[in-house]
Structure 1
Amino acid sequence: MSSSPVAAFAPLRHPAFRALWIANLASNTGLWIQNTGAGWLMTSLDPSPVMVSLVQAAAMLPVFLFALPGGALADILDRRAILIAAQIWIAAAGLLLAVLAALGLLGAWGLLALTFAIGTGTAVIFPAWAAATPELVPQDDLVQAVALNGVGFNLARALGPALGGFVMAAAGPTAAFALNAVGFLALLWALVAWRRPVERRSQLPPERLPSAVRAGLRFATAVPAMRAAILRACALFFFASAVWALMPLVIREVLGLGPAAFGAMLGVAGFGAVAAGTVLPMIRDRLSQGRLVFFASLLAYAAMALLAVSRHWAPAALAVLIFGAAWLAAGSTLGAAAQMTAPAWVRARALGVYHLAFFGALAAGSLLWGWVGTRVGVPAALLICAGSGAIAAVAVRPWRLVNFAQDLAQRVKARRGEKAATLLPKAEDPASVLKELLHDDSGRVLEVVRYQVDPDDVDGFLAAMKHVREVRLRAGAAGWRLYRDLARPDCFTELWAVDSWTEYLRHTVRLDEVDRAALALVVEMHRGGQGPEASRHLNVEP
């Protein structure tokens, strides 16, 4: 695909993605209209600062509570069904909100409860929708599809509050809440119309929610590329949140402008995000993912510093425009890195962890920089944040955003060339007297593989075992270790464990062609009379 402005919209040529993207834009715009209407309505129901601030808390808190379990459900059940169920939940809550507002029966705590209910549905949708994106576009269009999702989110963020304010002024909160419900109904219709390819049913029992959540956390913390995406996202959004948190005060206190200017500034940020999404394919041809995130982060902090010293709307608008572009470029690249790192079996729950970190960094950063702004003033807070954010961007740069599967495939191809496939170690079948113990509650299963390596190949073997470790962890291993025999330095023992016999079987079927090729590399380095010896052990409580 040629890198041009047209390439930026290439994912929209796929009908399913196009329909869902447009519907998602309508849904997100309605959500921002609802949030604006809820915040304004609370100033009438209970104008205390605590209650007004609780509206945003009620919208954000569900992400911390339900993003990971929602992602786990989207992995172990049908993602389309999860998305449809969440949309029905949100539409029902939105319609109830509109009806109660129209009848004059909506109180302050009822508003918070229904806002929390809507936030719960969106918390489930975030990881499920992100995990479904690779099913809607081919691999070549995935990064730009993620960028277009970011463009849509920023467009909704720019348009929603402005439309919400207009609707509230013209027709009141009932109309704002009704528009939100209509937006989610539009997305519900698009999801119902989506014909997701039928997956091959596994013969293994479905994962249980607690173990699925643990597997998602384990994957996100154990796989280096996923850790890097999460860490760099936290570093970016913790500091970048200062602009969104302090923007109203910049407009009102520093520039001396009103709410119309605030809406316009949000629109400028959205336009910057759209512009960045258009040129992003050309930038990606010249910069790796890691360098793109690094330079976009520095650009965002430079824009933040410009906003801090601006005393006129023109340079402030330029700063916000640049910030919106940098925010989209860095954020969409990090999101794509997280999506491409996680294999299909764990993608939604791993992205749930990513979104939890994303929103956690935004919330924590907003609180901190808001507090700093009250202590030293808004311009000084933005300058401090810009400087410390740039330092953080340099500090986290060594964490590489590498697509493990692509990197491993290249390494395997370079080492193996055209060699025939190698048989992997295979342990003996379980003894018949123990087979009744092998089930979903069997307890931990340990596999032991013993290798004998030529002394000249030890360095290469250790390098290859780093990839084996990541293969095991990516497929769901609960732990992995490699030991060297002190008496026989040419002998190594690999140990890896899973939580149950059923998890062991799942681990086996999760291995793809590249994973098996990586395992085959170390088998080819074995110099024993036969292949490496493998054995399986069941944890026994004395």
Structure 2
Amino acid sequence: MLQSVSPKHDLPLKPEGQAAKPERTGTWAPFSIQAFRIIWICNLFANLGTWAQSVAAAWVVTDAHASPLMVAMIQVAAALPLVLLSILSGVIADNHDRRKIMLWGLSFEMTGAMFATLLAFLGYLDPVLLIISILWISLGGSVTIPAWQAAVNEQVPARMVSDAVLLNSVNYNVARAAGPALGGLLLSAVGPAWVFLFNSFCYMALIWAIWQWRRDVPKRSLPPEGILEGVTAALRFTQYSTVTRLVMMRSFAFGLSASAVWALLPLLAHRNPDGDAAIYGYMLGALGLGAILGSPQVSRLRQRIGSSRLISLAGFTLALILLTLGLVDNLWVLFPVLILGGGCWIGALATYNSAVRVLVPDW
């Protein structure tokens, strides 16, 4: 049941004393910056490769008749380093050269992808080794992602930052919709080894783009913060900020439930009478398509019903979606349901992210 939430009790999405909005330059303006344009294109291929690889990895484990727990471990391996190392990686990204951090992180991810490729071509791709390779790649990603998000300010002028962030979001969502379908088709046509090889080459392209990127790094007015000091400050702020703790607990509860869709979707596709690798890719792509279609509606719904009620609505709808996925086999029903699920996911995720960005201070 949705409870009425007064404006003063809603999740805050605007900082107090907010300054005037920066001058808008147009959504496509960041593409006029050559460095951003090259990095954006290479990142699109890297995201496509990552999603294609996720389809191949999950399907290989599922097709090996592994237990549901083993299938779900693919998602655990992909997410665990991000959860455990996000604060540490964020502190490092705030105090060191982000370009070098991204190069190290992406190189580590590429070696993990090459490890999976080698195993696949040699015929040693069993579920345990594949999960290890996914964990390997995710460890690199946990280093890359915080630096990547913070480096947007160094790729474009300040007046274009908001548009650059939007274009990066479009990049990710397009890949999330098209990448799984591409992965399913490649997996059906040429096998997992070639999908992993494709992902490795995509990493190489992005590493090249970051390597050739040259920029002027602004001088710091304050000395770099120590890693332990930064982690302690982040934990202390969370401990004493009641609203931040509330947002984190609610986001954890939502993510824990919603992740069941991604974790068990390979089993759902495999057990479907018409299921194969391509169908699984289409199912995952339907979630991405839902995220794309739902993104423009998030701000409108937030203004109309409030952030807390939007999150509650997304959670309630997702519960019905999980129930439907467990009871229905008809693909003509499942695909629209998955599209709706992607919309619910992005609605809650975008709202939580916006709240955290406002609540957490710059330091």
The interval holding the TM-score normalised by the smaller chain is 0.7 to 0.9
- Secondary structure at the counterpart of residue 92 of structure 1: helix
Residues 154, 217 of structure 2: 8 Å contact kept: no
- Partners of 1:174 and 1:86 in 2: how far apart? 23
Q: What CA distance in whole angstroms lies between the structure 2 residues aligned with 1:314 and 1:224?
A: 44
Separation in 2, partners of 1:228, 1:179:
41
Kindly tell me: are residues 320 and 100 of structure 1, through their superposed partners in 2, closer, same or farther at Cα, counting changes over 3 Å? closer
Residue 268 of structure 1 corresponds to 286
CA deviation digits over 1:208-255, x for unaligned, max 9? 3222222222223333443343223113212222333444455565x6
Q: What is the percent sequence identity of the aligned residues? A: 35
Q: 1:278 aligns with which of 287, 292, 296?
A: 296
Post-superposition shift, 1:288? 4.6
Contact 2:180 2:285 in 1 (8 A): no
Contact 1:11 1:137 in 2 (8 A): no
Correspondence for 1:216 among 230, 234, 252? 234
1:288-307 residue pairs with structure 2 within 5 A? 288-304=306-322, 307=325
- Please say if residues 146 and 335 of structure 1, whose CA atoms lie closer than 8 Å, have aligned partners that are also in contact: no
Structure-1 separation of matches of 2:121 and 2:215: 38
Superposed CA offset, 1:4-37 (max 9, x none):
xxxxx96443236665444333222212323333
State the Cα distance separating 1:302 from its structure 2 match: 4.7
Kindly state the Cα deviation for residue 320 of structure 1 after the two structures are TM-superposed: 1.7
> What displacement does 1:40 show?
4.7
Structure 1 residue corresponding to 2:247, chosen from 229, 249, 254 = 229
Q: Residue 122 of structure 1: CA displacement?
A: 1.0
Contact preservation (8 Å) 2:49, 2:198: yes
Q: 1:257 to 1:42 in 2, by over 3 A?
A: closer
Aligned with 1:331 (options 332, 345, 349): 349
Task: Point out the structure with max Rg over C-alpha.
Answer: 1
Q: Distance in 1 between matches of 2:243 and 2:164?
A: 20
Task: Label 1:84 to 1:78 Cα distance change in 2 as closer, same or farther (>3 A).
Answer: same
2:274 aligns with one of 257, 281, 286 = 257
Residue among 314, 319, 324 paired with 2:332? 314
Is 1:14 the counterpart of 2:14? The answer is no
The reply to whether residue 119 of structure 1 matches residue 135 of structure 2 is no
In the alignment, the residues of structure 2 paired with residue 109 and residue 308 of structure 1 have an alpha-carbon distance, to the nearest angstrom, of 27
1:91 aligns with 2:110: yes
SS of the counterpart of 1:14? helix
Is this contact kept in 2: 1:293–1:333, CA < 8 A?
yes
Whole-angstrom distance in 1 between the partners of 2:100 and 2:355: 26
Q: Which residue of 1 aligns with 2:50?
A: 31
Q: Secondary structure at the match of 2:219?
A: coil
What is the distance in 1 between the residues matched to 2:340 and 2:227? 42
Deviation at 1:120, TM superposition (A): 0.5
- Which secondary structure state, in structure 1, belongs to the residue aligned with residue 103 of structure 2? helix
Match of 2:210 in 1: 191
Distance in 2 between residues matched to 1:11 and 1:310, nearest whole Å: 41
In structure 2, the CA distance between the partners of 1:263 and 1:182, relative to structure 1 (3 Å rule), is same
2:29 maps to a residue whose letter is R
Matching residue's letter, 1:26: F
Q: 1:51/1:154 Cα in 2 relative to 1: closer, same or farther (>3 Å)?
A: same
3-state SS, counterpart of residue 257 of structure 1: coil
Paired with 1:140 and 1:233, the residues of 2 have a C-alpha distance of: 31
Query: Residue 466 of structure 1 aligns with which residue?
Result: none
Q: Distance in 2 between matches of 1:228 and 1:11?
A: 33
Q: CA deviation at 1:274?
A: 1.0
| TM-score relative to the length of structure 2 | 0.74
1:268/1:133 Cα in 2 relative to 1: closer, same or farther (>3 Å)? same
Which residue matches 2:9?
Answer: none
- 8 A contact 2:55–2:280 mirrored in 1: no
Distance 1:165 1:341, change over 3 A: same
Measure how far apart 1:315 and its partner are: 3.3
Alignment of 1:453-464 (within 5 A): none
User: Which residue identity does 2:275 align to in structure 1?
Assistant: G
Structure 1: which 5+ residue stretches go unaligned? 1-8, 346-542
| CA pair 295-163 structure 1, distance change in 2 beyond 3 A | same
What whole-Å deviation, never above 9, does each CA across 1:167-188 have from its counterpart, x for those lacking one? 2333333322221112222322
Task: Measure how far apart 1:140 and its partner are.
Answer: 8.9
Q: Which residue of 2 aligns with 1:75?
A: 94
Instruction: Give distance in 1, aligned partners of 2:73 and 2:264.
Output: 18
Letter in 2 for 1:320: L
Q: Compared with structure 1, are the counterparts of its residues 107 and 291 closer, same or farther at alpha carbon in structure 2 (3 Å cutoff)?
A: closer
**The structure with more helix, counted as a fraction of residues:** 2
Structure 1 counterpart of 2:179, from 145, 149, 160: 160
Kindly provide the CA deviation profile for residues 331-387 of structure 1, in whole angstroms up to 9, marking residues without a partner as x: 122223223433444xxxxxxxxxxxxxxxxxxxxxxxxxxxxxxxxxxxxxxxxxx
How many Å separate the matches in 2 of 1:266 and 1:107?
A: 23
Unaligned runs of 5+ in 2: 1-24
Between the aligned partners of 1:266 and 1:163, the Cα distance in structure 2 is 11
- Aligned amino acid, residue 280 of structure 2: F
Given that residues 176 and 289 in structure 2 are in contact (C-alpha distance below 8 angstroms), is that contact kept between their aligned partners in structure 1? Answer: no
1:181 to 193, 200, 210: 200
Q: Is the 8 A contact 1:36 1:165 kept in 2?
A: yes
User: Structure 1 CA distance, aligned partners of 2:326 and 2:120?
Assistant: 40
Aligned-residue offset at 1:197: 4.9
Cα distance in 2 for partners of 1:42, 1:309 equals 23
Structure (1 or 2) with the greater strand fraction: 1
One-letter amino acid of the structure 2 residue matched with residue 321 of structure 1: I
Greater displacement, 72-81 / 19-28: 19-28
Q: What CA distance in whole angstroms lies between the structure 1 residues aligned with 2:207 and 2:110?
A: 9
> Normalising by the residue count of structure 1, what TM-score does the alignment of the two structures yield?
0.52
* Distance in 1 of aligned mates of 2:250 and 2:293: 23
Distance in 1 (alpha carbons) for counterparts of 2:37 and 2:243 = 29
Mapped to 1, the partners of 2:94 and 2:261 lie a distance apart of: 34
Relative CO higher for 1 or 2, CA cutoff 8 Å, sep ≥ 6?
Answer: 2
* CA shift digits 1:445-464 (9 cap, x unpaired): xxxxxxxxxxxxxxxxxxxx
Alpha-carbon offset, residue 51 of structure 1: 6.2
**2: CA distance, partners of 1:325 / 1:277:** 7
